[in-house]
Amino acid sequence: MNAWVFSALAFTLGTADAAQVAMEDQSQLKVPPASQTPFFVPPAQSELPDNAFGRMVRDGYALFVDTRRLAPDYVGNGMKCSNCHLDQGRLAHSAPLWGAYPMYPAYRKKNDKVNTFAERIQGCFQFSMNGKAPAADSPEITALSVYSYWLASKAQVGVEPPGRGYPDVAQPAGGYDIARGEQVYAAQCAVCHGDKGQGQKVGDDYVMPPLWGKDSYNWGAGMHRINTAASFIKYNMPLGKPGSLSDQQAWDVAAFVNRHERPQDPRLVEGSVEKTRLKFHANDGVNLYGQTLDGVLIGQGTGH
C-alpha cells in the first residue's frame, strides 16, 4: 500500500469516526441497549466471607456510600459514588460496578490511553467528585476495586453484560428544549434537589445531591453531557420511579440541569474555556460547555 492510499484511508476512517463520536460514550465501551434484559446477579452480602478479603470488600462498600466523610482529602464537592450508581453499584442500568469491572483495562478517548480500572475510578474522583484522585495503590482505590471485583464475581471478563452503563436514550427528533426542561425540573426534581439545584442536607452532609453549583459534579464529569444525563435520568429518576419520564422529558430536563454553572473542568487549557471546549468538549457527546446561551458564556465554572 502506498503512502497516498494509506493517508486517504486514515482520512476516511477519521471522518467516519468523528461523525460517530458526536453521540458516543467517552469510555469507548459500548452499552448494550435497554431492550436486552439484564440477567447478571451480583453476589449477596450474606455470601461475603469473614476474612481479610471480606473486610476489604466492606471497606470499599463504606467508601462507596459515604465517600466524602471517609475520603475527605479526595472529594471536593457534595457527591458520592452511590449518587450516580444506585443501589450501591448493584443496580442494572445505573452503571453497575459488575458491568464496569470486567471491561477494564480499556481505551478511553477522554485521556487517549488504555486505562486500568484504578485509573477509571481515579477519573470519578477528579471529575464527578471534583476532587483529587487517590494514588492507584492507595487504600481507597484498592478498597473500591476490591468491592467492584467482588460484585463482578462470576461475570465474564471482556463481555458487555446487558444492564451495564446507562442505556442510550436517542435524542428526540426535535432536539431538546431547556424551557420545557425547567418545567419538568420544577414538577419532578425540585422536591428533592431543591428549586435551585442545591440539593438538601442534614447537618453537614448532603442527603439529596446538588445538581449544579460549586458542590456538584464538574465540567469534566461524564454527567455534564446532556445525552449521558438524559440516560441516567430516564432509567433512574425520580428515585423509585424510573422510566416514568418520556425520552423527551429526560432530554429536556437533562439540558436544563446541564446548562447551569458547576466547578470548572480541571483540564482547563491555558485558562481558556474556548481552548478547553475545542480540546475536550467539541466531540464529547451533546454538551453546552463553551457555548453561549442567552448572551452568557457557559463553562466559566463556579470559582471557589
Partner 1 sequence: MSPLDRVLISSLLLFALPAVHADQGQKIFTQGGANPAAMACQGCHGPDGLGMAAAGFPRLAGLPAGYLSKQLRDFRDGTREHPIMQPLAKALSDEEITAVTASLAAMPAPAAPDNRRQQMAASPVQQLALYGDWSRQIPGCVQCHGPGGSGVGEHFPPLAHQPAAYLVAQLDAWRDGSRHNDPNQLMVGVAKAMTDAEVRAIADYFAAGQEVKP
Q: Interface residues with partner 1 (CB under 8 A)?
A: 45, 48, 58, 61-62, 65-66, 69-70, 86-88, 90-91, 187-188, 191-192, 200, 202-203, 205, 207-208, 238-242
Measured distance CA(262)–CA(298) in Å, rounded: 10
Contacts of 73 (CB under 8 A, 6+ apart): 131, 132, 134
Nearer to partner 1, 98 or 104 (CB): 98
Angle between helices 226-236 and 247-257 (to 10 degrees): 130
What backbone phi and psi angles, to 5 degrees, belong to 113? -160, 170
Cβ neighbours around 52 below 10 Å, total: 8
Q: Are 161 and 96 in contact (CB under 8 A)?
A: no
> C-alpha cell of 54?
471480606
If the CB atoms of residues 19 and 186 are measured against partner 1, the closer one turns out to be: 186
Q: Which is nearer to partner 1, 174 or 203 (CB)?
A: 203
Beta strands 200-202 and 205-208 are antiparallel
Minimum CB–partner distance for residue 249 and partner 1 (Å): 13
